[in-house]
Amino acid sequence: MTPLAGYLLLSSFLFAIGLAGALTRRNGILVLIGIELMLNAANLNFIAFWRFGPNPEMLKGIIFVLFSIGVAAAEAAVGLALIIAIYRHYRTTNVEKMNSMKG
Amino acid sequence: MLWIVKNLWLIPALPLVAAGLSALAKQPCKKFASSLAILSMAGALVLSCIAFKAALAHSGSGEAANQIFNFRWFQFGASEADWVRIGWLLNRLTAVMLVMVSFVSLLIFIYSTGYMAHDENFTRFFCFLSLFAAAMLGLIIANSLLLFFICWELVGLTSYLLIGFWYHKPSAAAAAKKAFITTRIGDLAFLLGMVWLYAQTGTLLFYDQGHGCLEQSALATLTAQTTVFRLTVAGGIGLLIFLGAVGKSGQVPLHVWLPDAMEGPTPVSALIHAATMVAAGVFLVARVYPIVSASPDWFVGVAPALKVVTWVGVITAVFAATIAVAQNDIKRILAYSTVSQLGFMMMGLGVGGVAVGMFHLITHAFFKALLFMGAGSVIHGCHEEQDIRCMGGLRKFMPVTFATYAIGMMALCGVPLFFSGFWSKDEILHHAHLWSVSRWPFYLGAFGAFLTAFYMTRQVFHVFFGNCRLELGRTTGSEQHTVAHGGEPASEHPHSELPPQPHESPASMTLPLVILAVFSILLGFIGTPAWPWFQKFLEGQVATMNMSRLAEPEVLHLMLVSSVIVFIGIGLGWWLYGRKSIANANELDVLERVRPDIFHLLRNKYYIDEIYEWAFVGLNKRWAQACAILDDLIVSGLVHLIAYVIVGLSWISKTVDDEVVNKGFDEGCHGVSTGAGWLSRLQDGRVQNYLRVIGVALIVLVLFLLWGCKG
Amino acid sequence: MSASFIILAAITIASAVAAMTLRHLVHCALALAITFAGLAALYLQLDAQFVGFAQVLVYVGAVAILIVFAILLTRGSEAPQQSIFSSSWAVGGIIAAAVFAVLAVMIRKSRLSELVAPAGTTTTVREIGDRLMTTYILPLEVVGLLLTAALIGAVIIAMKEEPK
């Protein structure tokens, strides 16, 4: 297994963990944590490919990851603000309770 | 061209204008309507006299005696020859009829002002009368068979209108219908003859400078060909046209309408059904006499059509006279007498030619109008009583009427020497005696004359002699009594309370009676053998006065025979009815006591009406019933079938709509609803479910890529 | 694969699993911070030093703290009484496992993973800066805008509503 393959497997495992958490945990904040984990896994993927890819001097991977970090930060901020606002309204962060769009 | 010939149309135009103006006038303008009618008729009379003078002055005989004025009426084709031409004709026949018709009409108009004075439809009456006069005069002056036919139909129309004048009476309405329909049958034959004539000769003008249908070239064409029954075409056409005359003049078998036409007011009966309209048939035969009597050169003897004319006339004369013997309504006796006399006229035309028939027509017009008007006067005076069994002894109460009626009666019977009827009937019998074909017309004609004298005497004795049975009759009543009563609404007659005293009629009614009586006497003298002015006039020759002709054995013999017949008739009448006066109205007639079965047969007019009713009317009814059944079964069935088919189709459509469309639609909607229900579960607001779906989608996509790349 | 890689990977994985499964929310947040740190170390190992430091600065320093704040503001400090997992957690678990399986298969089968590292290159911050300012100037500005919007948006969303 090449190093790249290792990094890729790691990143996909992290991704799967994050996904599992996002899909199974009740608390909304934990769903957001799972999402952050997924994003980080993707960043790792990028950096791995940058490092073992054909043109490292293009710095594409790094730039992309930088922007990804920035966006993820913004998104975390907004998401948590939303959770807080929802908590203020519903008095709970249980995502299962937020189903007023009944099917 | 004389002015009068060119403007002959003015003669019918004057009454026509009067009719038109009367039609526009409001109902209560009595004086206006009647004076208009009388003035127009007087004007027509004046013009007729002028025309008569012109005809008198015009020399020439045969075809040159005809003064004609033809003109184009309308075009029906492109070429020059495709014009329908009509015109007027002034010959001696025309002139004589013009004067007679306008004079008698004028007198009857004056009479009507008195007779119809209390009728509320006075204006309408005079309007119709004027229209009739216009049509009759138009018919007389017509030089074209087409114009003749048009006026013929108009005359029929006004007859219908006038017979049914009191239309709220159902019997009057029925009689009017009967008259119209019966004459229509004759008119159909007339039309066929007209069409045939046009087809053969190409013209309907009588005289047209050699091209007319009564002139030599046309006659030659017509006699050249033969048709069915070995008749020449001329004979066929003549017979068809004669059938028209049979309808109009009430010959057997189309006589049935004339007695019923007595439902109309008495002036109508006098004018139309005695003097003029019924004479139109005779006039028609006289007009087209050249066709009826035409025979090819090789033929010897009398033309077959002319023979038919004669025999029909003879049969009618005797037939109607026998019926008249048993009638009890004063007007009906006169009606059957008219039918009988018309038969005589036809017989005269057949055996002796135009002059003989026309002479009797002229004299008959005067004395029959006189008799009818006298009967009207009697009815008026007896407060609408019409049954002679309920009258009697009116001689004392209505002297003028009695005198004039007696003169008329004697003229009709043919009392010798002084009365016109004698001379005219004698002419007919004379020519019948000389007829080459058979002597039977003479014998039957003599029998008819005998019957005429008999029934007229019976009538006169019932009405004017004996004791007055008037109020007695009122309580018992008879059929005609109720009929007469239903005639005029009682409110119009001021004498509806019954003082049983009959009274003489006013001067407006008696004056025309007197004038007609005078003419009934005087007219005879223009046609005696001693001075046959009338006959010669019609032929265009001058008549000389020669008393010795009276003494010729032939003539004298015949005069004696007919006188004897008349006196026997009158005598028998007196012996049966005049010797002892009739006690009351219910008493049976003498003849009825002797031979009730024959009497009943005669009284019921040989049941001809019933036979016609059963045969033709009944046939029509049964045919209509058959058609109704056909309609019900087949047509109705067809319609029902179609209806059921359509209902079935619509049921199918509805079912399809209900089951298929609706259910399908409902199922569809259900499906959509359920599906939407299902689908909406995808949107339950549970975030983690969304994420799960995204995860699944990711897996699927990757697998896709994986295997896609591989493949 | 070097030992450092395996150790770092193990730490990261363990802390990630802990972050996802612990009951107490604050514990999860802390485990998450450790995960971030482990990832930063991995970046360093991959010669992406600037990214590693940025990861520490941003994620560990800001995002994790932010998450702690949120937990505290939403009463997450108390341990929840009921189950921490949602009612249908098995489905989620299966899906996540399926995703991992598919990705792993893909990685194993792909030829890209045969790539071998070229000679190590050093990237200076200057180069990154240059790139950012020249080639990627537009995304930079956009991200700046995005951050501004997120900032303002978050403030507005989380702001206490004025009682009228």
Q: Which residues of B touch A24 (CB under 8 A)?
A: 688
What average pLDDT does the segment B298-304 reach? 76
What average pLDDT does the segment A45-66 reach? 87
B435 pLDDT tier (thresholds 50, 70, 90): confident
Query: Residues of C21-33 as b/e, b for ≥16 C-beta within 10 angstroms?
Result: bbeebeebbbbbb
CA–CA dist C147, B43 (Å, integer): 126
What average pLDDT does the segment B151-174 reach? 91
CA atoms within 13 A on the CB side of B276: 35
Check pLDDT > 70 for residue B541.
Answer: no
Contact B358, B96 (CB under 8 A): yes
Output the pTM of the full model: 0.63
At B587 the pLDDT is: 67
Percentage of chain C with pLDDT > 90? 51
Strand partners, B164: none
At B340 the pLDDT is: 92
Check pLDDT > 90 for residue B639.
Answer: no
The dihedral of CA B176, B177, B181, B187: what is its sign?
Answer: positive
At B61 the pLDDT is: 60
CA–CA dist B618, B615 (Å, integer): 5
Check pLDDT > 60 for residue B627.
Answer: yes
Contact B692 C91 (CB under 8 A): yes
CA–CA dist B268, B125 (Å, integer): 9
C102 min Cα distance to partner chain B (Å): 7
Q: How far is CA B491 from CA A80, B125, B381, in A?
A: 117, 18, 16
| Closest residue to B680, CB basis, from A98, A99, A103 | A103
Write the pLDDT tens digit of every residue in B324-342.
Answer: 888 888 899 999 999 999 9
Instruction: State yes or no: cis peptide before B553, omega within 30 of 0.
Output: no
Q: Mutation target for B interface from A12, A15, A23: give the one with most B CBs within 10 A.
A: A23
CA–CA dist B508, B503 (Å, integer): 14
**Which of the given ranges, B233-237, B609-613, B658-662, has the highest pLDDT on average?**
B233-237
Write the pLDDT tens digit of every residue in B455-499.
Answer: 999 888 888 887 777 664 444 333 333 334 344 443 334 444 445
DSSP structural state of residue C80:
P
Phi, psi at residue B85, to the nearest 5°? Answer: -115, 140
Tokens of B596: 């009730």
Rounded to the nearest 10 degrees, the angle between the axes of helix B10-24 and helix B122-141 is 160
**Which of the given ranges, B350-359, B552-561, C144-153, has the highest pLDDT on average?**
C144-153
Counting one residue from chain A and one from chain B, the pairs whose CB atoms sit within 8 A come to: 36
Contact C115, A52 (CB under 8 A): yes
Q: How far is CA B156 from CA B16, B169, B184, B249, in A?
A: 16, 20, 9, 11
The dihedral of CA B425, B567, B340, B369: what is its sign?
Answer: positive
Contact B564, B572 (CB under 8 A): no
Give the angle subtended at the CA of B504 by the CAs of B499 and B506, to the nearest 5°: 115
Q: Mutation target for A interface from B674, B680, B688: give the one with most A CBs within 10 A.
A: B688
Percentage of chain C with pLDDT > 70? 90
Contact B441, B388 (CB under 8 A): no
Percentage of chain A with pLDDT > 70? 98
A42 min Cα distance to partner chain B (Å): 14
At A35 the pLDDT is: 94
What average pLDDT does the segment B275-301 reach? 83
B552 pLDDT tier (thresholds 50, 70, 90): confident
Mean pLDDT of chain B: 82
Residue A86 contacts B, CB cutoff 8 Å: no
- The chain B residues in contact with chain C (CB within 8 A) are 688, 691-692, 695-696, 698-699, 702-703, 705-706
B1 pLDDT tier (thresholds 50, 70, 90): low
Residue located via tokens 């991977």: A61
CA–CA dist A46, A11 (Å, integer): 10
Q: Using CB atoms, list chains with 3+ pairs below 8 Å to chain A.
A: B, C
Contact B124, B522 (CB under 8 A): no
Query: In chain C, positions 12-71, which contact chain A (CB-CB < 8 Å)?
Result: 12-13, 16-17, 19-21, 25, 28-29, 32, 35-36, 39, 42-43, 46-48, 50-51, 54-55, 58-59, 62-63, 66-67, 69-71
C42 min Cα distance to partner chain B (Å): 26
Residue located via tokens 């209509």: B624
Contact C25 A30 (CB under 8 A): yes
**Chain B residue with minimal CA distance to A94?**
B686
* Termini Cα distance of chain C: 63
Contact A25, A54 (CB under 8 A): no
At B124 the pLDDT is: 87
Residue C145 contacts A, CB cutoff 8 Å: no
Largest CA distance in chain C: 66
Q: Using CB atoms, list chains with 3+ pairs below 8 Å to chain C.
A: A, B
Least confident of A72-76, B612-616, B621-625, C11-15: B612-616
CA–CA dist B213, B228 (Å, integer): 21
At B478 the pLDDT is: 37
Domains of chain A plus CATH, in order, are 3-90 (1.10.287.3510)
Check pLDDT > 70 for residue B64.
Answer: no
- The chain C residues in contact with chain B (CB within 8 A) are 86, 91-92, 95-96, 98-99, 102-103, 105-106, 109
Q: How far is CA A58 from CA A55, C116, C130, in A?
A: 6, 18, 11
Mean pLDDT of chain C: 87
Write the pLDDT tens digit of every residue in C51-61.
Answer: 999 999 999 99
